[in-house]
């Protein structure tokens, strides 16, 4: 006489390792999503700042910089620094890596402002492999200071 054995379902056989593994993997995925969202949010905040926009506009309009690294000019990696806003008083200190077809450079921006009025203390471009600093704050963009 054959006895029909009812075999347990896959879930009943494997739940003891699926629950902890799935829980850990789920937690890891949630942490990665949170970290990615935080990174994207901070990067977007810096790219939307007045200091970033002003520096990029002046860099793209600077003939010497265009000659040295070429066009089109775009960011080259992650912008670093800080942006503070306290009771309408703002400050920015950014390092923006940029590149063009002929080379790379780094823009350093430091400034402060109230509302939409900004004063920049530093807005320099350090051109890699050229030992050149271009001051983007000067009206005459043809002045290039060599690093001593």
pLDDT in tens, 127-145: 988 788 999 998 544 444 4
d(C-alpha 31, C-alpha 19), whole Å: 18
User: Which residue in the block uniquely carries the two structure tokens 């430091």?
Assistant: 110
- The DSSP symbol for 105 reads E
Q: Are 60 and 67 in contact (CB under 8 A)?
A: no
Selection from 136, 112, 138, 132 nearest residue 124 by Cα = 136
Can you tell me the mean pLDDT for 115-137? 90
Q: Count the Cβ atoms, other than its own, within 10 Å of residue 40.
A: 10
Q: Does the pLDDT at position 49 exceed 70?
A: yes
Can you tell me the mean pLDDT for 30-49? 85
């Amino acid at each position: 006489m054959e006895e029909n054995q009812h075999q347990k379902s896959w879930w009943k056989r494997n739940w003891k390792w699926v629950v902890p593994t799935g829980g850990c993997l789920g937690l890891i995925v949630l942490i990665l999503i949170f970290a990615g969202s935080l990174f994207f949010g901070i990067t977007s905040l810096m790219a939307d700042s007045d200091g970033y926009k002003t520096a990029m506009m002046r860099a793209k309009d600077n003939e010497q910089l265009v000659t040295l690294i070429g066009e089109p000019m775009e960011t080259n990696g992650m912008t670093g620094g800080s942006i503070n806003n306290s009771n309408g008083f703002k400050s920015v200190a950014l390092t923006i890596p940029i590149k063009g077809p002929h080379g790379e450079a780094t823009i350093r921006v430091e400034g402060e402002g109230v509302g939409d009025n900004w004063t920049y203390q530093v807005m320099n471009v350090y051109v890699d492999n050229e030992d050149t600093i271009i001051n983007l704050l000067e009206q005459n963009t043809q002045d290039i200071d060599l690093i001593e």
